[in-house]
Amino acid sequence: MEHGAPFDLTVMPRSVNLRKLLAFGTGVGIEIGEKDLEVVVARVRPSGIRVLGRTVIADFRTRPAAEWGAECSAFAKRLGAGHLSATVLLPRAEIIVRQLALPGVAAKDLGSAISFQMDSLHPYGEDEVMSGWRPLGKGQVLIGIIRRDAFERYTGMFAEAGIPVATLTFSASVLHGALRLTDEPPAEGFAAVCRSASGGVEIYGESPNRPLFSAEFELPAARALGLAAAELRLPPEEPAARLENLLPAPAVNPIDNDLSRNALPYATALAGACPWLAPAANLLPPEQRVSASRAVFVPTAALAGLVLVVAFASLAFSAFEDRRYLAKLEAEIRTLEPKAQRAAALDRQIDRTRNRARMLDEFRGHTRADLEAMNELTHLLPPPIWTTGLDLTRDSATLQGEAEQAASLIKTIDASPFFQNSEFTVISKVGNAEMFRIRTQREAHK
């Protein structure tokens, strides 16, 4: 979903929350921790959100992948989500998060524009990287970048574990989408603390001056919040927001899924359940994504139904307007038709006048060209050569006369810029002179 903008539902009236009506799906969210995997399965319906279960896959890095993969699959299957592909949250410490301003760039060209600037967005030099992005609106784009070797390590690990993965993403993208799943976050802005898998302090925030802020600090939480508030242009005395209060509240939540301790796996599950409402930047190339959700076609079917209803309504109520508009158009055509005919007649008259002027110019040019050709022949055939006849046409000249040596005349005439392809048609010896007739082609000469 990172290559397409989310649905723009902000134009809907407050009385009809289309987000909640389209909120339908089940997601498996997996957060990669320093030692453990945290897995949350959430079911989203218009009536509310249910967290079906949460588990921790301990010490996954030191255990055989098949072992912890079977444990994770059994957990998802027990909750009725065994057929689903997972949305995996990469460690924040291994992701570089960038925001890029691309005002005026069309949605279809965003990928090319980001690729063009990719080398300047990360410090890895010539090392290969993988990236994923999603639009934030108003010409802003959120980008996540990871080294290719780290990317291949994680994708290989999940492939070996037998866990299908649809999305490989990062915390800033997941939170930005999950906060808008059923409603909009506070317009005045906020800054919230997230638990970092590496033990640091991760701050996520938004404000009217900055669409998104995400950073990991090796600082006390209070100091990190102060720096984040300065970046977001929030009042320094603004208290930290509680992330669990900003995310859509689940109607049912197991006691072991403490959102105040760590809300990221829950947000990841929401992004996986409704990718059309909470799209996450996906670092997986399209050919590596595995999608098996049966609910993925529900919003498409709902929107298709709405489109059909609107189409039938438009056909039913627009016939009268079409007829009235056609009558007005025909009346206007009748009014303008005499003027159009007069304009067409004037155009024809102008064309005839132009053609006549062009013919006159060409005719005057013929006389000048003929005089130039005769003058050129006078210089080419000096005495004692003399001519007894000259016939000029538009593209050729035929001259006859007498010379002591006529053979060299062909070369002399062809050397002129006025003539080419000269040839004798008659040459004969008469006394001490030679009678000749030469035909030559005239070249266009300006």
> pLDDT, tens digit, for every residue of 27-85?
999 999 989 999 999 999 999 999 999 999 999 999 999 999 999 999 999 999 999 99
174-209: pLDDT as tens digits: 999 999 998 889 989 999 988 766 667 889 999 998
In which band, very low, low, confident or very high, does the pLDDT at 296 lie, cut at 50, 70 and 90? Answer: low
Same structural domain, 285 and 381: no
* Chain centroid to CA 421: 60
% of the chain residues with pLDDT over 90? 42
Is the bond preceding residue 64 a cis peptide, omega within 30 degrees? Answer: no
Same structural domain, 177 and 285: yes
The answer to whether position 322 is within a domain reads no
- Which pLDDT value is given to residue 166? 94
The answer to whether position 202 is within a domain reads no
The answer to whether position 141 is within a domain reads yes
Q: For position 124, which CATH number holds?
A: 3.30.420.380
- Which pLDDT value is given to residue 128? 93
Q: What are phi and psi of 90, to 5 degrees?
A: -75, 155
* Chain centroid to CA 152: 27
Element (H, E) at 380: helix 298-380
Same structural domain, 405 and 264: no
In which band, very low, low, confident or very high, does the pLDDT at 410 lie, cut at 50, 70 and 90? Answer: confident
29, 34, 72, 189, 321 from 56: Cα distances, Å: 12, 12, 9, 33, 63
Same structural domain, 27 and 143: yes
Q: Between 434 and 313, name the one with better pLDDT.
A: 434
- Which pLDDT value is given to residue 170? 95
Residue 353 in this model has a pLDDT that exceeds 60: yes
Q: Where is the domain boundary, 265, 292, 319?
A: 292
Average confidence (pLDDT) over 310-330: 80
Residue 379 in this model has a pLDDT that exceeds 90: no
- Assess contact for 140 and 161: CB atoms under 8 A: no
Average pLDDT, the chain: 86
Q: Where is the domain boundary, 237, 270, 292?
A: 292
Element (H, E) at 432: none
Q: Between 77 and 424, name the one with better pLDDT.
A: 77
- Assess contact for 87 and 177: CB atoms under 8 A: no
Q: Where is the domain boundary, 239, 271, 292?
A: 292
If you count them, how many residues does the chain have?
446
Q: For position 399, which CATH number holds?
A: 3.30.1360
H/E/C letters for each residue in 37-71?
Answer: EEEEEEEEECCEEEEEEEEEECCCCCCCHHHHHHH
Same structural domain, 288 and 153: yes
Partnered with residue 435 across adjacent β-strands are 402, 428
- Assess contact for 29 and 43: CB atoms under 8 A: no
Three-state DSSP class for 151?
helix
The answer to whether position 13 is within a domain reads no
Nearest to 169 by CA among 95, 79, 220, 241: 95
How far apart are the C-alpha atoms of 73 and 79, rounded to whole Å?
10
- Paired tokens of 274: 């409704």
Residue 4 in this model has a pLDDT that exceeds 80: no
Average confidence (pLDDT) over 314-328: 80
Helices (H) then strands (E): counts for the chain: 10, 15
121-142: pLDDT as tens digits: 999 988 999 999 999 988 899 9
The answer to whether position 83 is within a domain reads yes
Q: Is 0.85 topped by the overall pTM? A: no
- Which pLDDT value is given to residue 171? 93
Q: CA 330, 331, 332, 338 torsion: positive or negative?
A: positive
Same structural domain, 265 and 385: no
Nearest to 84 by CA among 271, 285, 249: 271
Same structural domain, 104 and 252: yes
- Paired tokens of 243: 């992330």
Partnered with residue 38 across adjacent β-strands are 31, 56
* Beta-strand pair 213-217/386-392: unpaired
The CA-to-CA distance between both ends of the chain, in Å, stands at 66
How far apart are the C-alpha atoms of 150 and 240, rounded to whole Å?
33
Containing structural domain, residue 435: 377-442
Same structural domain, 51 and 144: yes
The answer to whether position 323 is within a domain reads no
Structural domains in the chain (count): 2
Three-state DSSP class for 442?
strand
Average confidence (pLDDT) over 93-111: 91
* Beta-strand pair 386-392/396-403: antiparallel
Same structural domain, 399 and 278: no
